[in-house]
A and B are shown apart, each in its own frame.
Chain A
């Protein structure tokens, strides 16, 4: 209980940090855009306004955005009784209302949870997961997701997905317009300060994706261990999740078709193809699966 409380507080701090960072990056973009169009102030105002509106939209519909990006379809209890019973059971165990269930039509073994608060969360699983896991294993996976919900990881992870996602888009857009759009540059060329600003903007456009990636990763790896542990507390059966992770590790095709860089950290296991040496590097969204299994087995 105490751990959960600390987790929630840390998550609240990180939520604000993420929003702050988002606006910092957004206003730097604004600066660059402003320099580009010749009016720094206007550039700042435009991007800040867009940033505020986008943040508000993300807060109210971010979960649905993520679901549709991932190709997840909402399902009813009648269609997927097995999934619903498992989710309901673990919601009871966690003392939470039942999250909405989504299914991704994909043979990969994966799942994720999202939402703006524990009371209105959603869980998505792939059809592959439903077919290949037995009841204990599915419970283990759902318990892991339920812990993300209970600790309110989902909000930070959702914000990271959609805010960071848009920064990736923006920086690409900016990079391209710097590289290809060169019209009417004669006016600014005589101003040294302007050139420096353009260079800063350019550097930012290149660096921003890296910065945002790093933030996202540092947020998510600790969380995975945490969710494994508290998931095991929910089911009182760590072997279930350990066995599920083992199946996931052995799966020859872990690629979720609709997963991308912005949503990768949401999934229970990395949705990309594994490289030969899957060591925990600075750039992986998930801790090595063998280490997770080992920790579960030691419980």
Chain B
């Protein structure tokens, strides 16, 4: 009888230990995904920053009246590089997106520039990268949501807390992104 009780206790303890190990491993996997998807945002931000000097140089010769726009872009680019916190970076990055958008808007007034193959290529490349920045943020948010949901569930919340897992923060959608969804055809 004593032996049987011990066997049962051992089995129960073993099963609980296995469940905890399983939870721990899946949380580690998710946490690494969160980290990786966050790094992906930086990759795209860096890519855009690398493209901008090229763009400014190409545009300079044509846009003699838009000095201010170009200066704003250079400033915003520097701000993205300087920013250290994720929030600061996101804010600077959104500012840079806005300045780039206004540059591409005024470029419509310069037919010579619009005919420049190099400019068109850079515009396509930057627009593509802008999209990738947005998508990499979205992917980060998706993963963070999965992670947070997992550690908030009972009884995961008790165990995850004592294993040292904390909720991750997701990006807020910018005003611009929210507007995008309402576009009608």
Q: Which residues of A contact B (CB under 8 A)?
A: 1, 81-82, 84-86, 88-90, 92-95, 135, 139, 236-237, 239, 243
Contact = CB atoms under 8 A, between A and B. Distances in A.
Contacts, number: 51
A85 B139 contact: no
A139 B128 CA distance: 11
A81 B132 contact: no
B185 A92 contact: no
B139 A94 contact: yes
A85 B44 CA distance: 12
B143 A95 contact: yes
Interface stretch (B64-72, B105-113, B119-127): B119-127
B74 interface: no
B162 interface: no
Nearest to B182: A239
Contact of A92 (B139, B143, B180): B139
Interface string B149-185: 0000000000000000000000000000000110111
A196 B47 CA distance: 70
Interface residues of B, number: 24
Contacts of B129: 85
A236 B138 contact: yes
B15 interface: no
13 contacts: A81-B125, A82-B128, A89-B132, A89-B135, A90-B135, A92-B40, A92-B135, A92-B139, A95-B142, A95-B143, A236-B138, A239-B183, A239-B185
Given A237-B181, A239-B183, A239-B185, A92 B127 contact: no
A77 to B, nearest CB: 10
Interface of B: 33, 37, 40, 44, 121, 124-125, 127-129, 131-132, 135-136, 138-139, 142-143, 146, 180-181, 183-185
7 tightest A-B CB contacts, nearest first: A85-B128, A93-B135, A89-B131, A92-B135, A89-B132, A92-B136, A89-B135
- Among B40, B135, B146, B185, the one with the most A-chain Cβ atoms within 10 Å of its Cβ is B135
A139 B132 CA distance: 12
Contact of A95 (B37, B125, B180, B183): B37
Contact of B185 (A84, A94, A95, A243): A243
A231 to B, nearest CB: 13
Nearest to A136: B183
A137 B184 CA distance: 13
A237 B139 CA distance: 15
B43 to A, nearest CB: 9
Nearest to B36: A95
Nearest to B125: A81
Contacts of B44: 92
Nearest to A139: B131
Given A88-B132, A92-B44, A81 B138 contact: no
B180 A85 contact: no
- Among B127, B131, B138, B146, the one with the most A-chain Cβ atoms within 10 Å of its Cβ is B131
B142 to A, nearest CB: 8
A169 B81 CA distance: 60
A82 B125 CA distance: 8
Nearest to B129: A85
Nearest to B131: A89
Nearest to B184: A239
Nearest to B177: A236
